[in-house]
A and B are shown apart, each in its own frame.
Chain A
Amino acid sequence: MSEDTNSVSRRSLLKGAAVGGLGLVAGSTLAAGSADAATRLKGSTVRWTTRGGGATGDKIAKAVNDAFTKKTGAKVVAQQVNSDDFQNNFAQIMQGSPDDAFGWMAGYRSNHFGELGLLADLTREINRLKGTLPTAAIKGATSPVSKKPYILPTTYYPWALHYRKSMVKEIGMNPEKIDTWDDFIKLMTLTQKKGLVGYSLGAKGGWEAMGTFDILNARINGYKYHIDLLNGRAKWTDAKTKETFKYFAQLIPFMNENVLDISWDGMRDLLLQKKTGAMMMGSWFANDFKAKSQEDYDDLWVVPFPEINPKWGIDTIDAPLDGISVAANGKNVAGGKALAQFWASPEGITEAIKAGDTNIYVSRSFDTSSYDSFNKQKLAVLGSAKNIMFFLDRDARGDFAGPVVGPAIQSFIKKPSDINKILESVQSQWDALPKN
């Protein structure tokens, strides 16, 4: 036990040193801050975890970490872990002997663990990166409860409406102009008339259909209402929430019959095999189109979900934000913070992209001139929104999103007429959650 208190006092000493460092750096430039870090870190070892990514993931990590070593003289020991395993055992890993810095997710998943004291406060680092990070990203990385950032934002991807340009052309519509709710309904109706699925959806895992709910709620009731709803400041039984499900119910007749039996990959296959008009999903699957053929990839298109309520327009998008967090229990917290800052800095991003990273970075320094048209369109879709949601299971607490909202949406799809009963049950389950 005495060792424990010793290490704590050592740690707070380090923190003291860090605060002192902040005072010194506050007025100076970013470069001076890094030079300061370099002298402090020389010879120390920093441990890094990459979440998934296979051989490319390892290659990217090596490139960035080597550049960090070159700059600061600190050695980086890196490892790659399975993304799901890391996420599922996160609390244990953080309480055990975690690596100092690692790729992680913004939203409830970092805020919650940050407030529990398992993730380090990155206020100083995020302030140093202020010049390159957009305000929305900084806001997204900051916990609304403690007002502290526990993650340095790096990459994101849009959840939006995907379809095949050729199929839209075939039904006599302009694939570049699917803007309004009426266009959207027309697209689904005409596709369905051809004997295909109008709107494909999966809900096997419970989370896939959350994307559709998120965007409908944001379009109908606005961003603020949606976030309030997910955090208990608005009621699931409210007429506004019911209105969202009325729109959701309109989509059901256009859907594939096996919604509850397929997951996101089933949705992808429907689009890949030209069996569906449109679907709402994260853009990560685009590589599978490319893997099939360049022609299929060129055919794929993405647009913002159409406007429903003119008051909100298309001002909101689901774009899960990823970044770098630092373990509060790591052996080298100062080193972890410096490494995290390097990963999120323009230098680190350049190294990652050179090593084959295809993610979209939030940083203003991010160069997109070499992008193909689909990726440019993805950026345009992201740029069209003022407010960024992180997806329901990151915006809401973990013991509510998965266990309560997921099954609720599933039962709604099974029997839409039960919606009042379902929403009452969701609300009562929220009320029954322990408040902390």
Chain B
Amino acid sequence: MLNISLGTIIWTTVAFLVVLFILKKMAWKPILEGLKKREESIEGALKAAEDAKEEMAALQSNNEELLNKARAERDLLLKEAKEIKEGIIAEAKTNAKLEGDKIVAQARETIKLEKAAAITELKTQVAALAIEVAEKVVKEKLSNDNKQQELVNNLIEEVTLN
């Protein structure tokens, strides 16, 4: 156990060095290389996944941006449409007002004319009526036709309508 035996030392040295050489060349090298390769591939895969995730995120933010843009455009369009609508309505309103005013004015004109015509007619009729009345009156009272006519005309002139 504690005594040193040269024979054992020789056997150990030879066996250990031979096995160390064999294992180094044929076992540890492929094992450590394999481990390294696998670690690298795992690391690569993880990195690729991370990259894909980032790309996804970028894509998503892109989408969001597009959506926002579309929304803004829509809003703009709606606003414009609203404005147009309001414009149209306002125009229509003014147009209608103008037309109405025109119609009213026309109506007024017509009324005025009609009124004038009516007055004239009324005047004529009243005159005729008055003449008739006067004629009848005068027929009874006056013999002279001309004198009577003069009198009536004077009377009518004095009457102012309106």
Q: Do A and B come from one complex?
A: no
Hey, which bits of chain B sit against chain A, CB under 8 A? none
- Which residues from chain A sit less than 8 Å from chain B, CB to CB? none
